[in-house]
Amino acid sequence: MEQQISNKISWVTLAKFLGLYLMVLGHMQLVDSNTSAFIYTFHMPLFFILSGMFTKETNNPTETGKKLYEKLLLPFLLIASVWCIIYMGLWIKNGIIDLCYWSNYILGSFISPGKTLGSLHTLKQPLWFLLALAEIKFIAVFIKNHKLLIIFSIVCIIIILLLHHFNMVLPFAIDSAFFAFPFFAIGKMIRNSFLTESKKISTLLLLLFFLFTGIGTYIIYLINGDVDTNNCIFGNYIVLYYLGGFTGSICIFTLSQIISRFYQATGPINTLVVGATLIIGFSSNLSSIIREILPFLGTSNIGGIAIALLTMAALYPFILLAQKYFPAILGKRK
């Protein structure tokens, strides 16, 4: 159901692609710190809102659990395992034979994939998203209407404020899941309003709305400061964190709808979206390699923008290979 809707609405695929690109651009520090911090305002909220839009309603937790394992948890486990094997090889090569050191990183990559938890450290930080999204989607099975979505979102915000007050971090990205759940709830509640091609709205009006929401998001960023969904950092005001994440996401949705009027997201764009798990798991190291090969590109925002594009292009053939020979690492997406 989710994939069928997405295939019919080109702007959704474009929005997912833009979100992945912004993730590479912001996470890999390919642009200046201010630009990266602005991207953090909305690039992860965008994915959670989209996920809320396309989560299929079901009353069967067992069926949902199986699908979440296939689409999110198995790719998480596979990619985390690959990085553990790679780093174990590097540790042996460099003469680091310390089982306690190894265990802190290997266990940390599965128990606390997004951030440090006590002595546990992660080898691949972006993987927290797959784990948190699986948790959110499973919780959503038991929340049947908009009223309950709102109530549980408020509960999540209260939990985050308490964790922030006591400076606590939870394992398995559970705190990040609580922090992001309100965006997922927003996606479910605005689903019917945005799953259209908006053909009745003029391109000029969409462009003006894009500029309005973009400027509004930037003003919110200036007032609220740096945020980070993974680390549950909401800036100066938690309300502005959610408002900025929402307006920034709507800005990207609107831009995607404008682009879709001139370009249908098929071929390479769609393939890159299907390969989201590989982009999440491997883009950071690949972008570093490209930066070393082409050091002159790493001296400006324009160069960083080019590196992000080259990173995604370099991953394209690996996504095609994974589709054909190892679809499990992609969550069996087609």
Q: Domain segments of the chain: what residues?
A: 60-260
Residues sharing a CB contact under 8 Å with residue 292, sequence separation 6 or more, in sequence order: none
DSSP state of 146: H
Measured between alpha carbons, how far is 188 from 195 in angstroms, rounded to an integer? 11
CA distance readout (Å), 116 to 5, 121, 128, 271, 280: 38, 5, 12, 33, 19
Angle in degrees, CA 236, 240, 198, rounded to 5: 155
Distance CA 291, CA 47 (A): 27
In the block, residue with structure tokens 């680390």: 231
- Residues 67 and 101: their CA atoms lie apart, in Å, by 34
- The Cα 26–Cα 28 span in angstroms is 6
Q: Which amino acid, one-letter code, is at 144?
A: K
Tracing tokens 């404020």 back to the chain, one arrives at 161
Contact 192, 54 (CB under 8 A): no
Give the Cα separation of 14 and 10 in Å (integer): 6
> Residue for token digits 């912001």?
26
Q: Which pTM does this prediction carry?
A: 0.93
Q: What is the pLDDT along the chain (334 residues), one digit of tens a residue?
A: 344 444 457 888 999 999 999 999 887 778 888 999 999 999 999 999 999 998 877 778 888 899 999 999 999 999 999 999 999 999 999 999 889 999 999 999 999 998 999 999 999 889 999 999 999 999 999 998 899 999 999 999 999 999 999 999 999 999 999 999 999 999 999 887 766 555 678 889 999 999 999 999 999 999 999 999 999 999 999 999 999 999 999 999 999 999 988 887 778 999 999 999 999 999 988 998 998 898 888 778 899 899 999 999 999 999 999 999 999 999 988 7
Q: For position 7, what pLDDT does the model report?
A: 43
Residues in the chain: 334
Name the residue type at position 73: L
271 contacts 230 by C-beta, under 8 angstroms: no
By C-alpha distance, which of 155, 146, 160 is closest to 193?
Answer: 146
Q: Specify whether the CB–CB gap between 308 and 21 falls below 8 A.
A: yes
The alpha carbon of 186 is separated from its chain's Cα centroid by a whole number of angstroms, namely: 16
What residue has token string 């009006």?
A: 205
Token pair, residue 130, equals: 């797959």
